């Protein structure tokens, strides 16, 4: 993919591709546990990607796929059934898992397959042979096996390099069933694959909006925090945290759009750990919850209401900081300011208020979704 991070940790539809793959398995009623094999040095990235999911201790893989699979099998105590799945196939339909497990009643293993629709050819620069596509199949994952049979096959192969486990099983003389696969299991390898996956996922999303409002009174000496930016002023704002009305309003807007309560539920003022806390932590938390729910933050708009200080000189800095916290393009963040024509508490320069609206896309509760 040419990305700065391994593709399994890259965000797809708002969350790491690895998390999509694991959630599809961990949520299936016939799967008892999920374990994850990772590359060397990927512990922190994997832990962050899978935060909150019960996947046990991360297992470090080896130089070849067969070594990594063997390392994973070694931590499984019982001799039952295992499924081996690629993180690069993030969307696994539950029906495919059921077909694989059902096929093990009469076979040592089972794999999902799809017929080949295109003409196949051999080529070294130019096409020199057309290959008969009859009985040729595309093999996908997850692949299901009895653990002891797969261990036997790996030992027989001497852990030679293999693109999947079915080839090792077949080489050992074991029977592997073919069950209908699914286009949702296509492997993501190129940028074009990624774009198609994003489009596929977006087709199952619906747009939702949330509003947020916050107010804090002036108190003490400045400076004050607005939108994560320190603004020179003779007075600060009173609050349990850093009293950043902009970030608080946007946080509530995001939580509201996703139906996740409000900022007081997640960060109660009664909890001493939030005293003086930087409000970017609150906004990061809200954005993370939206993305963990499969959502995408499309746009946020916030209006700051005060007589002083003047917001104009800081507008671009606030916009850039909010975009940075949310991981958005600044073009998708709007910051405005107004007064109340000297009416009310803001007109009397007693405090600052902010109201915000956030637009997000979330999976439809009535759709099967991409998982």
pLDDT of 364: 74
Average pLDDT, the chain: 90
pLDDT of 126: 86
Angstrom distance (rounded) from CA 325 to CA 317? 12
Of all helices (H) and strands (E), which one includes residue 271? Answer: none
- If DSSP codes are grouped into helix, strand and coil, which group holds residue 163? coil
Specify whether the CB–CB gap between 285 and 266 falls below 8 A. Answer: yes
Contact residues for 120 (Cβ-Cβ < 8 A; gap 6+):
130, 131, 132, 133, 136
Angstrom distance (rounded) from CA 161 to CA 365? 43
Please compute, for residue 138, the number of CA atoms within 13 A of its CA located in the half-sphere on the CB side. 13
Please compute, for residue 69, the number of CA atoms within 13 A of its CA located in the half-sphere on the CB side. 29
Q: Which residues, listed in sequence order, are joined to residue 360 by a DSSP beta bridge? A: 208, 297
| Domain span(s) for CATH 3.30.1330.50 in the chain | 205-363
pLDDT of 371: 40
pLDDT in tens, 322-353: 999 998 889 999 999 999 999 999 999 999 99
pLDDT in tens, 179-214: 999 999 999 999 999 888 888 877 778 899 999 999
What pTM value is reported for the model?
A: 0.64
Burial track 294-307 (b if 16+ CB lie within 10 A, e otherwise): bbbbbebbbbbbbe
Burial class of residue 51, CB neighbours in 10 A (0-12, 13-18, 19+): exposed
Residue 368 confidence (pLDDT) above 60: no
pLDDT in tens, 55-86: 999 999 999 999 999 999 999 877 799 999 99
pLDDT of 365: 66
Q: Say yes or no: domain 7-202 is CATH 3.90.550.10.
A: yes
If one compares 212 and 220, the residue with the highest pLDDT of the two is 212
- If DSSP codes are grouped into helix, strand and coil, which group holds residue 66? helix
Torsion of CA 190, 193, 199, 204, to 10 degrees: -130
Q: What CATH code is assigned to 205-363?
A: 3.30.1330.50
**Parallel, antiparallel or unpaired: strands 143-146 and 109-115:** antiparallel
The whole-angstrom distance between residue 341's C-alpha and the CA centroid of its chain comes to: 45
Tokens linked to 290: 């939206």
pLDDT of 8: 93
Q: Which residues, listed in sequence order, are joined to residue 226 by a DSSP beta bridge? A: 229
| Domain span(s) for CATH 3.90.550.10 in the chain | 7-202
pLDDT of 366: 55
pLDDT in tens, 128-177: 888 888 889 999 999 999 999 999 999 998 767 788 999 999 999 999 99
């Amino acid at each position: 993919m040419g990305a700065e991070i391994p593709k399994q940790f890259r965000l797809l539809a708002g969350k790491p591709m690895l998390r999509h793959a694991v959630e599809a398995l961990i949520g299936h009623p016939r799967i008892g546990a999920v374990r994850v094999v990772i590359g060397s040095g990927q512990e922190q990235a994997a832990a962050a990607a899978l935060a909150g999911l019960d996947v046990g201790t991360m297992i470090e893989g080896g130089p070849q796929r067969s070594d990594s699979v063997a390392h994973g099998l070694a931590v499984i105590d019982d001799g039952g059934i295992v499924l081996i799945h690629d993180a690069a196939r993030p969307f696994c339909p539950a029906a495919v898992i059921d077909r694989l497990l059902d096929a093990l009643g009469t076979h040592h293993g089972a794999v999902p397959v799809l017929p080949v629709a295109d003409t196949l050819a051999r080529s070294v620069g130019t096409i020199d042979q057309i290959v008969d596509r009859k009985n040729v199949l595309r093999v996908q994952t997850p692949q299901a096996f009895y653990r002891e049979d797969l261990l036997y096959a790996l030992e027989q192969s001497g852990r030679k390099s293999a693109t999947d486990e079915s080839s090792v099983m077949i080489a050992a003389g074991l029977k592997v069933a073919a069950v209908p696969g699914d286009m949702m299991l296509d492997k993501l390898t190129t940028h074009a694959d990624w774009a198609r996956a994003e489009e596929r996922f977006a087709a199952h999303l619906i747009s939702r909006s949330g509003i947020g409002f916050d107010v804090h009174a002036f108190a003490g000496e400045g400076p004050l925090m607005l939108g994560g930016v320190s603004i020179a002023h003779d007075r600060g704002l009173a609050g349990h945290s850093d009293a950043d009305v902009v970030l608080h309003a946007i946080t509530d807007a995001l939580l509201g759009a996703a139906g996740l309560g409000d900022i007081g539920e997640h960060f109660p003022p009664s909890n001493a750990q939030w005293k003086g806390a930087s409000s970017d932590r609150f906004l990061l938390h809200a954005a993370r919850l939206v993305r963990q729910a499969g959502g995408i933050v499309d746009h946020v708009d916030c209006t700051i209401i005060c007589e002083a200080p003047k917001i104009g000189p800081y507008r671009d800095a606030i916009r850039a900081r909010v975009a940075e916290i949310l991981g958005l393009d600044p073009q998708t963040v709007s910051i405005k300011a107004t007064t109340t024509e000297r009416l009310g508490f803001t007109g009397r320069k007693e405090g600052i208020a902010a109201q915000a609206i956030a637009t997000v896309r979330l999976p439809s509760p009535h759709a099967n979704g991409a998982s």
